[in-house]
Chains A and B, each alone.
Chain A
């Protein structure tokens, strides 16, 4: 039994994808830039182009960091659940194999936060 309980104990998950009104959750973290204290959570439609994240979403989220303007997306290293991963920027989120509550991170070589302290 998946919970110590007095009788049958089965519940619907609170965060199943159906509850997000046509969207799915995607978490994104920027490595070595802990001025942003934690990875960010986003509700995106699966059909949204991956490129739109880079061009339309992240600048509004991370733009206040002095490193962000120098990010070169062609040299960025990506990780999905911690392992190396290569998204196709021209394809959609779903076509890139990203499911509900997947977590991706990007590393920007040469950019290591404020004074190189990973902040």
Chain B
């Protein structure tokens, strides 16, 4: 049979419709609910999947074209960075520690997001939702890769970046971002998209990417700025997409509203707790500061987030439960977090330090109600101790929150001098929490969180030593054994910035021996 001459080329909208409608079908050999078994047990009701529209109506050819162009630009800049010794151009070697935190804590989450969206990209009944999730899955893989490639240039010259993938599954503070994502990955597909689209793409992207990338720009790190830009257009698409998904679910059935509200309560709090790391990065780790955590929270949290919840109010959605508490804590979060890493700087895979006099004054100006009163004396005491050769390290492992897995350093919302202790009993065992909201999350699904892999408890159970290590031999040093299990370059990855190899090398590369080389 002769081929019929093809008609004129399809337009973008037609191609999008074919991709997201024409290629789907109702199954007949097996019922739909057996082909898509995960989309009913969470209680979400979807009556018409065709109502779901990708606001960007991206087709695959357009997608590859855009992404390809972004890749070309990024890799040209990364090449130029490597050829021009970009690692020397940063403000100060202390800055590199923010990159360590990023590659250790954030990039693995990009990879997990890739996996998670690949999973829901198979599981949703609606084709358009599946296509959007599949594209996002490819985006996230690209983000993980470009971050690795950008940071790999620094890894050639600085410590603390060599085994980040190994660390992600083992190191005590990295269990915070890891458990955040594992919690979402092990939920149903609707909770996953709400969790990640809202808490990761919306709350975290604003407060994580923007400070990180502006911090990079202020501190002379053009490679990181470039991967930030390269990812940023994807992130805006993800944020828009995320909101679309939430609105679609809310519009489909009034019974979905309380379920989504509970997820927003939970995931706001989970996301906010992960941001603890960002708060101290902004206030303590950037040698040249962009803005304080408090200011960032006011702009990106209170104002932008407030606008989002005003927008969702017409569906009957209110602000998440922890919203007010996050605003109360903005005066304390970064100081308490950095104090904690200073305490456990022997076991952290980046360097810690006390703020310089200029930095302390900056903190006083940004935190007039709290820094001088509560935190300056602590840092000055530590500074003095270090000068006397007695740099303070806390040698005993801390109590952790069962839900967010952060050491229990958060204070009572009503009293910043008292640690906030909360607990629940479940099947005869006690569980402890850092806040009312972490306790609420546990109390709703205790059977999930009794499985929390809490690093401190795992160490005490003997699960964090290399094979063959005998903890009963005399003189056994448990901290050292745990750091060996982490694959730490002991004495190079950890301890204070003062006297570190990073500090000495940076000074030497700049022809300055003041670093003590």
CB of B298 within 8 A of chain A? no
Mostly helix, strand, loop or mixed at chain A's interface?
loop
CB of B367 within 8 A of chain A? no
CA–CA, A91 to B395, complex, Å?
Answer: 27
CB of B394 within 8 A of chain A? yes
CB of B456 within 8 A of chain A? yes
On chain B, which size bracket covers the interface?
A: 35 or more
CA–CA, A60 to B498, complex, Å?
Answer: 25
CB of B399 within 8 A of chain A? yes
Decide if B432 touches A103 in the complex (CB within 8 Å). yes
CB of A101 within 8 A of chain B? yes
A37's contact among B187, B409, B423, by CB below 8 Å, is which?
A: B409
Decide if A41 touches B451 in the complex (CB within 8 Å). no
B399 CB contacts on chain A under 8 angstroms: 27, 29, 38-41, 103
Decide if B460 touches A41 in the complex (CB within 8 Å). yes
Which A residues from 1 to 45 make CB contacts under 8 A with B?
A: 1-6, 9-16, 19-21, 23, 25, 27, 29, 31-32, 34-43
B397's contact among A10, A14, A40, by CB below 8 Å, is which?
A: A40
CA–CA, A23 to B471, complex, Å?
Answer: 14
A99 CB contacts on chain B under 8 angstroms: 430
B417 CB contacts on chain A under 8 angstroms: 32, 34, 118
Chain B CB within 10 A, most for which of A2, A12, A114: A2
A35 CB contacts on chain B under 8 angstroms: 339, 378, 381-382, 392
A34 CB contacts on chain B under 8 angstroms: 336, 339, 378, 409, 411, 417, 419
Decide if B394 touches A37 in the complex (CB within 8 Å). yes
A2's contact among B42, B187, B375, B445, by CB below 8 Å, is which?
A: B445
CA–CA, A3 to B450, complex, Å?
Answer: 11
Chain A interface, number of residues (Cβ within 8 angstroms)? 49
Mostly helix, strand, loop or mixed at chain B's interface?
mixed
Nearest CB on B from A64, distance (A) = 6
CB of A56 within 8 A of chain B? no
| Contact of A25 with B457 at beta-carbon distance under 8 Å, contacts A13-B451, A41-B399, A103-B421 already known | yes
Decide if A5 touches B41 in the complex (CB within 8 Å). yes
A119 CB contacts on chain B under 8 angstroms: 374-375, 377-378, 381
Nearest CB on B from A52, distance (A) = 15
Nearest CB on B from A106, distance (A) = 13
Decide if A101 touches B432 in the complex (CB within 8 Å). yes
A41's contact among B374, B378, B419, B456, by CB below 8 Å, is which?
A: B456
Nearest CB on B from A23, distance (A) = 7
CA–CA, A40 to B400, complex, Å?
Answer: 9
Decide if B451 touches A11 in the complex (CB within 8 Å). yes
CB of A100 within 8 A of chain B? yes
Chain B residue with Cβ nearest A13: B450
CB of A74 within 8 A of chain B? no
Chain A CB within 10 A, most for which of B38, B42, B431, B461: B461
Give 18 A-B contacts (CB < 8 Å), ordered by A residue: A2-B445, A11-B450, A13-B427, A15-B429, A15-B454, A15-B461, A19-B461, A27-B432, A34-B411, A34-B419, A35-B378, A38-B398, A38-B409, A41-B396, A41-B457, A99-B430, A101-B430, A117-B374
Closest 3 CB pairs of A and B: A118-B417, A119-B378, A2-B447
Known interface pairs A11-B450, A64-B385; 20 further A-B residue pairs with C-beta atoms within 8 A, sorted by A's residue number: A1-B447, A2-B448, A6-B37, A15-B429, A15-B450, A15-B452, A15-B461, A16-B429, A27-B399, A27-B432, A31-B418, A36-B343, A37-B336, A37-B394, A37-B409, A39-B398, A39-B421, A81-B421, A117-B377, A119-B381
